[in-house]
Structure 1
Amino acid sequence: MASEAQYSPDETALLVVDPYNDFLSEGGKLWPRGKEVAEGIGLLDHMRTMLATARSRGFRVFIVPHHQTTPSDYLTWDHLSATQQHIVSQQIFAEGSWGAEWHPDFQPREDELVMRQHWASSGFANTDLDFMLKQHHVRTIVLIGMRANTCVDTTARFGQELGYHVTLIRDAIGSYSWEEMTATFELNAPLYAHAILTTDEFVDAVSRSVPGTRR
């Protein structure tokens, strides 16, 4: 699935969702759950290519991080999701831990923006992401990272609702199972995403885009 988006540097941002060691690094608490899919699709290499491409083309880069957990989080909440219950019990992305540090290959540069942390799955809900995208004239968002059927899917859906052109890079987005990948890219995303591309397809589309100058 593709669209006619030109991916102008003036209006395009790469959203790197939850690039934490707990998700993406050997020894991370969630790495064993995502390892089969990650290795099967070449996740890390494709994420590296996407980030390098965005930087070389002058796209804005936004890190879209999940809340970093502390032992007292959620204690007084009325309505924890199953995911939040698991996060708090396992202290995933624990504040101050190695697991809550960025994977070393996805460290933001000085001019790249780290958004406020999201508490559930949407990178937009209760954060500054929409505001900051608009302040930087972004109209097209390209998503990579973790996890396909939770934070990536929900952030992408929310972005489409807010009026952004949404592109998903299917081999630079990981999950815990092939069934989750199928549900995201074959069933759900075609209903809201404007483009679902591989890394190679995106790089080719960018190479054919009309060059622009960032504001």
Structure 2
Amino acid sequence: MESHDHTAVVLVDPYNDFLHPDGKLYPAVKDSLQASDSIKHMKRLVEVARAAHIPIYYGLHKQYKEGFYDGWHRMTSSHIRTKKLHVFEEGSFGVNIYEGMEPDIENGDVIASKHWNSSSFANTDLDYLLRQRNITKVVCAGMASTTCLESTARYARELGYDVTLLSDATAGFSIAANDAAVNLVWPLIVDRVLTVEEWAASVAGSKL
């Protein structure tokens, strides 16, 4: 039976800009979100974590504000899109955490410093914050399956964490891309790929 001591959830970019119909990136991920019923599963993940007193660490993309990227010479396609569309704009509806997924300090939830690119670990304090609580196992979910979420899981593995990815608590920029990540790539790069309910069952079993 798996122990869930020293475990944390890492929830990546559960922003309105991704998950809410009025979000700036929602049209790009809508089909995949609906195909996987992803929002329902993300909310279920939060519910299970809270019931088991497993802390949720939020890996959030840097919020855009005027002047960001000015003078940059090595902008990625993501940076260019963020600047053009003002995605995740500071103070906007789009950077609010989707309703039902908000942090709860009483549960021990933590918001890490924000990432500029894809990984929630690169150039942030996430690893430091996890190690302060002797977290050795991370359960990763959120957006998007082939970019920030996968990059975060890969980085966690390189840092020596035991990594679980949740296959139905995410979505991609297409159904095909999401399916390729979940079914072909993820089993090769992390310790296990589970559905939210499979993970929930393992948490329940560890409490018996």
| Shorter-normalised TM range | over 0.9
Take 1:60 and 1:142, find their aligned partners in 2: how far apart are those partners? Answer: 10
Q: TM-score, normalised by structure 1?
A: 0.92
| Paired AA for residue 194 in structure 1 | D
Name whichever of 171-180 and 61-70 sits farther off.
Answer: 171-180
AA in 1 matched with 2:113: R
Instruction: For 1:92 and 1:128, locate their aligned partners in 2 and report how far apart those are by CA, in whole Å.
Output: 23
CA distance in 2, matches of 1:186, 1:78: 36
1:140 corresponds to which of 130, 137, 141: 137
Residue 175 of structure 1 aligns with an amino acid whose one-letter code is: G
CA contact 2:17–2:94 (8 Å) conserved in 1: yes
Structure 1: which amino acid aligns with 2:24?
A: K
SS in 2 for 1:104: coil
Matched residue, 1:103: 98
TM-score computed with the length of structure 2 as normaliser: 0.95
Asked if 1:15 is matched to 2:42, the reply is: no
The residue that corresponds to 1:129 in the other structure is 126
User: How many Å separate the matches in 2 of 1:35 and 1:115?
Assistant: 27
Name the counterpart of 1:173: 170
Conservation of the 8 A alpha-carbon contact between 1:61 and 1:112: yes
Out of 134, 146, 150, which is 1:149 matched to? Answer: 146
Distance 1:103 1:133 in 2: 23
Report the count of equivalent residues: 206
1:183 to 159, 180, 188: 180
Q: Confirm whether residue 87 of structure 1 aligns to residue 82 of structure 2.
A: yes
User: In the aligned structure 1, how far is the partner of 2:140 from the partner of 2:124?
Assistant: 17
Extract unaligned runs of 5+ from structure 1.
none
Who is 1:26 aligned against? 21
In the alignment, the residues of structure 2 paired with residue 7 and residue 68 of structure 1 have an alpha-carbon distance, to the nearest angstrom, of 36
What is the alpha-carbon distance in structure 2 between the residues aligned to residue 182 and residue 40 of structure 1? 10
Give yes or no for contact 1:93–1:99 (8 Å, CA) kept in 2: yes
In the other structure, the counterpart of 1:118 is 115
SS in 2 for 1:141: strand
Tell me, yes or no, if the aligned pair for 1:7 and 1:140 is still in contact at 8 Å. Answer: no
Q: Check conservation: 2:65, 2:90, Cα contact below 8 A.
A: yes
Task: Please name the residue that 1:75 is paired with.
Answer: 70
| Gaps in structure 2 of 5+ consecutive residues | none
How much has 1:186 moved relative to structure 2?
Answer: 2.2
Structure 1: distance between partners of 2:160 and 2:74:
29
Distance in 2 (alpha carbons) for counterparts of 1:46 and 1:92: 24
Moved over 2 A (4+): none
Q: CA deviation at 1:64?
A: 0.7
Aligned-residue RMSD, C-alpha: 1.2
Identity %: 34
